[in-house]
Amino acid sequence: MDVATTRTYRQACSAAHALDLVGERWALLIVRELLLGPKRFTDLRAGLPHASPNVLSQRLRELEQAGVVRRRKLAPPAGSWVYELTEWGLELEPVLLHLARWGRRSPLRDRTAGASVDALMLALRSGFDPESSRDLNATYALRIGEDTFVVRVADGRLTVVRGDAPDPDAVIDTDARTFASLVTHQQRLSEAAASEQLTLTGDADAVERLLQALAPPG
């Protein structure tokens, strides 16, 4: 298959070929935005505001041609066209998690820059330290603006899925910037709650333990 391209490394090396497929600017970030489920083009634009519509459309076409992403129409009543990762595309998840862990240690990273909600979910997963949470077993309902997630910690493993938790141990309602400050240890949970940047109901200790299980940046 001719995946296109005006630029290619033209090497038999599988790493070079992988970069031919997903190494263009914005490509891996599109994958990041789709890890937790399908999105409309407008949703992808919201998560990647600095990517122009033309560039975003081009990258999506390239990822479709490569078999990483597919486009489909949702069943009624939604009826929207969405993009989602293929099974092969989903195999990039551990690559992104390891890349996030590697990038966290960079002294050049701008920690004041904005991040999409899906980027924060990746940070939550990549920063989680299983060794410091072996006896933690809890379910959290996380609401960031209009986005809702179920975060579960059990047996030293953290999972994140979109949706509502039916019976969570704690409910966290906040905005993306505040949650980013908690994940990166720039602000304490008690400070965010006291300044009304965050509403917490349920087991506050379980939330504290979740945040303590996140590795500090850099």
Contacts of 33 (CB under 8 A, 6+ apart): 39, 43, 44, 47, 48, 116, 118
- Asked if the model's pLDDT at residue 211 lies above 60, the reply is yes
Residue 82, both tokens: 């969405």
Count of C-beta atoms within a 10 Å radius of residue 143: 16
Categorize the per-residue pLDDT at 78 as very low, low, confident or very high, splitting at 50, 70 and 90. Answer: confident
Delineate the domains of the chain, giving CATH numbers in brackets. Answer: 14-91 (1.10.10.10), 117-212 (3.30.1050.10)
Amino acid (one-letter) located at 24: E
Query: How buried is 177 (Cβ within 10 angstroms: 0-12 exposed, 13-18 middle, 19+ buried)?
Result: middle
DSSP for residue 108:
T
Query: Taking a C-beta distance cutoff of 8 angstroms, is the pair 154, 213 a contact?
Result: no
Q: What is the pLDDT of residues 89-145, one digit of tens each?
A: 999 999 999 999 999 888 888 877 888 999 999 999 999 999 888 789 999 999 999
Q: What is the pLDDT of residues 166-200, one digit of tens each?
A: 999 999 999 999 999 999 899 999 999 999 999 99
CB burial string 19-52: b at 16+ within 10 A, e below: bbbbebebbbbbbbbbbbebbebebbeebbeebe
Q: How far apart are CA 134 and CA 154, in angstroms?
A: 8
- Asked if the model's pLDDT at residue 41 lies above 50, the reply is yes
Mean pLDDT of the region 150-168? 95
Mean pLDDT of the region 34-42? 96
The predicted structure's pLDDT at residue 1: 44
The predicted structure's pLDDT at residue 109: 84
The predicted structure's pLDDT at residue 50: 95
Pairing state between β 138-144 and 147-154: antiparallel
Mean pLDDT computed over every residue of the chain: 93
- Asked if the model's pLDDT at residue 218 lies above 90, the reply is no
Categorize the per-residue pLDDT at 54 as very low, low, confident or very high, splitting at 50, 70 and 90. Answer: very high
The predicted structure's pLDDT at residue 182: 94
- Asked if the model's pLDDT at residue 33 lies above 50, the reply is yes
